[in-house]
Chain A
Amino acid sequence: MIRVVLPAHLRTLAHVDGEVQLEVKGVATQRSILDALEARYPMLCGTIRDHVTQQRRPFIRFFACEQDWSNESPDTPLPELVATGVEPFLVVGAVAGG
């Protein structure tokens, strides 16, 4: 079980309240997590990764165990703590409210 924390506007879009829990096949990587997330919540396609290039969008970043994974390869295995659901995979988005 992998836990994913989404920014508020994407939780609204996906109609979820808190964290998302996902079963991910194979090794937990950014790609496998995001693929599983988009398969379960198709409305999130294009909001985190570009529809066409599958690149992270520039107003979104990824974190695992407090560290920034945004510029790592999407196929690098994530820390064991994320793979085992102890720590969540964080999708952090830019917000501007004040």
Chain B
Amino acid sequence: MTPPNPGTELSPQEIARYSRHLIMPEVALDGQKRLKAAKVLLIGAGGLGSPLGLYLAAAGVGRLGIVDFDVVDFSNLQRQVLHTTHDVGRRKLDSAAEHLHAINPEIEIETHEARISSANAMDLIRPYDIVIDGTDNFPTRYLVNDACVLLGKPNIYGSIFRFDGQASVFAPPAGPCYRCLFPEPPPPGLVPSCAEGGVLGILPGIIGCIQATEAIKLILGKGEPLIGRMLLFDALRMKFREIQVRRDPNCPLCGENPTITELIDYEQFCGIRGDEVSGPQLGSQWETTVEAVKARLDSGDDFDILDVRNPEEWQICHIAGAKLIPVADLPARVHELDSAREIAVHCKTGARSAKAVAFLREAGFRKIKNVRGGIIEWAHKIDPSMPTY
């Protein structure tokens, strides 16, 4: 960590603000100056980024960079406590900068409106001492890991799903990098995202606060960092476990004979092609639209609607008369469907139902169609009174 520039001084207001730090021997005036001189980059101003931003700003990290490209949505507010109801529709960067400055006007907030990519990651990260990964998808996780290893920056890692969280500090050669642990990501669709599977709103608070603590410790040079160890948190059982994580000498990035020496195409590495996000390409004869389904319902046509979402999603909203069979249960419950009848299959946005249609087609169904855009499209175009999620 860069020692504070000898010119770094604290004003009387700053001394008052940080007094609870200053009286602790582990921080003291020298440590608070280190915090003031520190440059930390937060990647993502979402679930993890919220507690990270709030606590690092309050702690007096002198330069806090934030990379984000998103806009605050109502569905963020259950966990992204950096943003308020008034901020819905604003850029997360604007909302973040405003609230962090309100907490601590003494620090500099640098906003970078960008989707971090192989083209900009090195330039974004280079000016900072520490990177904190608060992103929400595998391609960006690998991108941030690789850029940090190539630039020699510690990467404070945290990741969450439902009630479970993971945290570690990746800082080769002192410990492993993310690729040492997981050399390849799961194939698309195998491990759901928080948007698909949900997440306890408090969970990013807990994991983000662990990441913030590790950042402060690295800056101060105090304590034992979470390098070579990973914390696993299970909120349902309220249990933390620690596991030892080791460097892989054969790691393609930080190993003895690295084969990755520059940033790669991470979407391709993670197997994400255009059709992975929207489900398999079925061809137009296997697809229909919400307008067509609505027109057929209105004209009294005799056909079935199959909803392949989960029961929790069905409770939020569903189309009257639809039958619910979650896509995962379809193989076991396919006998409940009549292949002689016409069936319109839908999910939330069309990807799971495309998989369901592909499965049913294999099973011999010929009169099935995937409803493009799913129930979200239905709510937008057909029934605006329907709640969405």
Contact = CB atoms under 8 A, between A and B. Distances in A.
A95 B232 CA distance: 11
Nearest to B199: A97
B291 interface: no
A93 B199 CA distance: 16
Contacts of A39: none
A96 interface: yes
Interface in B169-202: 181-186, 190-194, 197, 199
Contact of B241 (A90, A95, A97): A90
Interface in A47-96: 47, 57-59, 61, 63, 66-68, 90, 92-96
Interface residues of A, number: 23
A98 B135 contact: yes
B248 to A, nearest CB: 8
B133 A59 contact: no
A83 B278 CA distance: 44
Contact of A9 (B48, B158, B191): B191
Interface of B: 44, 46-49, 133-138, 140-141, 158-164, 166, 181-186, 190-194, 197, 199, 204, 230, 232, 236-237, 241-246, 328
A96 B191 contact: yes
Interface of A: 7-9, 12-13, 18, 47, 57-59, 61, 63, 66-68, 90, 92-98
B246 A98 contact: no
A47 B136 contact: no
Contacts of B191: 7, 9, 59, 93-96
Contacts of A7: 164, 191
A58 B136 contact: no
A13 B162 CA distance: 14
Contact of B44 (A9, A67, A98): A98
Contacts, number: 96
B242 A66 contact: yes
Contacts of A47: 190
Contact of B186 (A90, A93, A98): A93
Contacts of B186: 57, 59, 93-94
A98 B46 contact: yes
What 8 A-B pairs have minimum CB-CB distances, sorted nearest first? Answer: A97-B194, A58-B184, A98-B136, A94-B182, A95-B161, A59-B186, A97-B161, A97-B160
Given A59-B185, A97-B160, A66 B244 contact: yes
Contacts of B48: 98
Contacts of A58: 182-184
Given A96-B140, A98-B194, 6 more contacts: A9-B161, A13-B328, A61-B181, A94-B181, A97-B136, A98-B133
A63 B243 contact: yes
A68 B140 CA distance: 25
Contacts of B140: 96
Contacts of B183: 58
B138 to A, nearest CB: 5
B134 A95 contact: no
Nearest to B136: A98
Contacts of B47: 97-98
The residue among A57, A58, A92, A97 with the most chain B CB atoms within 10 A of its own CB is A97
A95 B190 CA distance: 10
Nearest to A67: B244
Given A13-B328, A59-B184, A8 B246 contact: no
A98 B159 contact: yes
B212 to A, nearest CB: 14
Given A59-B185, A97-B161, A68 B241 contact: no
B77 to A, nearest CB: 16
11 contacts: A7-B164, A57-B186, A66-B244, A67-B243, A67-B244, A90-B232, A92-B166, A96-B135, A97-B47, A98-B135, A98-B194
A60 to B, nearest CB: 8
Contacts of A96: 135-138, 140-141, 159, 161, 185, 191, 193
B164 to A, nearest CB: 5
A21 to B, nearest CB: 14
A20 B268 CA distance: 35
Contacts of B243: 63, 66-68, 90, 92
B173 to A, nearest CB: 18
Nearest to B203: A97
Contacts of B166: 92, 95
Contacts of A95: 159-161, 164, 166, 191
